[in-house]
């Protein structure tokens, strides 16, 4: 899963209407069709399909590409068009700083430029700072993040929702402690995740994780861009090779070569 993270603890992105407007401003289908060209799948939530507890968060329905809706939400949040087309509020321009690396994820540079242009169409200025991946990682995981946005990817390495929902959205996991890089905090989400962690009933856990994703869907702190597709080739003589659902793992212990 590759996404543009939104710093929910920093104005103006602490206003959910501004975050929702950004999601409406991005044509994710155009990115998949014209930039990824079939090499990636749609991101329909904050978990990838195949992960236990995954729920289709209906992002296409909740946040369809709709510039008019994006502008309306910004207007509700008090932002009005300025003389150069960039929204303003109280003399402040709606200008977002975006931290990214180039070449860390497939087509990430082209995608960043595309989203930057899409933001401009609704009056949002995005100033992108390109750094080496190590520098991006250090800042995003630091105690203080001085950027509004950042590009990251995430893999649920054990294929269980807890691995992602706790690490990415529980308030105790805000850096430098954990991976809640959006600095998101919702007591209800915390309580549901903790309840699911205590439960030994898989049906109950799945229900609780679904509730968590329902809340996150309304308060989005990510712009999910795409899920990766792994392309693996093997000769005909390779037998017993099974593709593991987690991209970091190649299950080779039952693999053998036919002579």
List the domain boundaries for the chain.
2-233
* Core vs surface per residue 144-174: b (16+ CB within 10 A) or e: ebebbbbbbbbbbeebbbbbbbbbbbbbebb
- If one compares 63 and 246, the residue with the highest pLDDT of the two is 63
Could you identify the residue written with the tokens 């994006």?
70
pLDDT tens-digit readout, 97-146: 999 999 999 999 999 999 999 999 999 999 999 999 999 999 999 999 99
**Which tokens sit at 224?**
């999910």
Can you give the pLDDT at residue 259? 81
Give the CA count within 13 Å in the CB-facing half-sphere of 189: 24
pLDDT tens-digit readout, 39-95: 898 998 999 888 899 999 999 999 999 999 999 999 999 999 999 999 999 999 999
Q: What is this structure's pTM?
A: 0.90
Most confident of 23-27, 224-228, 235-239: 23-27
Instruction: Tell which CATH classification among 2.60.40.180, 3.10.105.10, 3.90.1150.10, 3.30.300.30 matches the domain 2-233.
Output: 3.10.105.10
CA 148 vs CA 32, 141, 156, 200: distances in Å: 24, 14, 25, 38
Instruction: Using the predicted structure, report yes or no on whether residue 232 has a pLDDT greater than 90.
Output: no
Can you give the pLDDT at residue 122? 99
Rounded average pLDDT over 29-35: 97
Rounded average pLDDT over 190-208: 97
Instruction: Using the predicted structure, report yes or no on whether residue 245 has a pLDDT greater than 70.
Output: no
Burial of 188 (0-12, 13-18, 19+ CB in 10 A): exposed
Can you give the pLDDT at residue 248? 57
Query: pLDDT exceeding 90 applies to what percent of the chain?
Result: 81
pLDDT classification of 174: cutoffs 50, 70, 90? very high
């Amino acid at each position: 899963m590759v996404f543009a993270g939104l710093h929910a603890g920093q104005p103006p992105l602490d206003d959910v209407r501004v975050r929702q407007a950004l999601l409406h401003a991005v044509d994710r289908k155009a990115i998949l069709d014209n930039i990824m060209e079939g090499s990636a799948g749609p991101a329909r939530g904050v978990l990838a399909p195949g992960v236990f507890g995954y729920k289709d968060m209906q992002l296409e329905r909740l946040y369809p590409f709709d510039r008019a809706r994006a502008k309306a939400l910004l207007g509700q949040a008090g932002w009005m068009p300025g003389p150069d087309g960039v929204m303003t509020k109280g003399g402040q321009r709606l200008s977002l700083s975006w931290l990214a690396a180039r070449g860390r994820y497939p087509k990430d540079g082209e995608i960043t430029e595309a989203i930057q242009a899409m933001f401009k169409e609704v009056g949002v200025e995005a100033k992108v700072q390109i750094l080496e991946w190590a520098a991006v990682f250090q800042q995003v995981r630091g105690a203080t993040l001085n950027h509004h946005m950042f590009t990251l990817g995430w893999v649920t390495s054990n294929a269980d929702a807890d691995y992602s929902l706790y690490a990415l959205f529980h308030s105790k996991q805000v850096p430098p402690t954990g991976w809640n890089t959006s600095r998101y905090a919702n007591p209800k989400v915390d309580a549901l995740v903790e309840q699911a962690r205590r439960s030994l009933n898989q049906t109950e856990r799945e229900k609780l994780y679904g509730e968590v994703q329902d809340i996150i869907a309304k308060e989005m702190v990510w712009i999910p861009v795409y899920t990766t597709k792994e392309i693996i080739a093997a000769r005909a003589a390779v037998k017993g090779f099974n593709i593991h659902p987690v991209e970091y793992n190649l299950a080779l212990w039952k693999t053998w070569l036919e002579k």
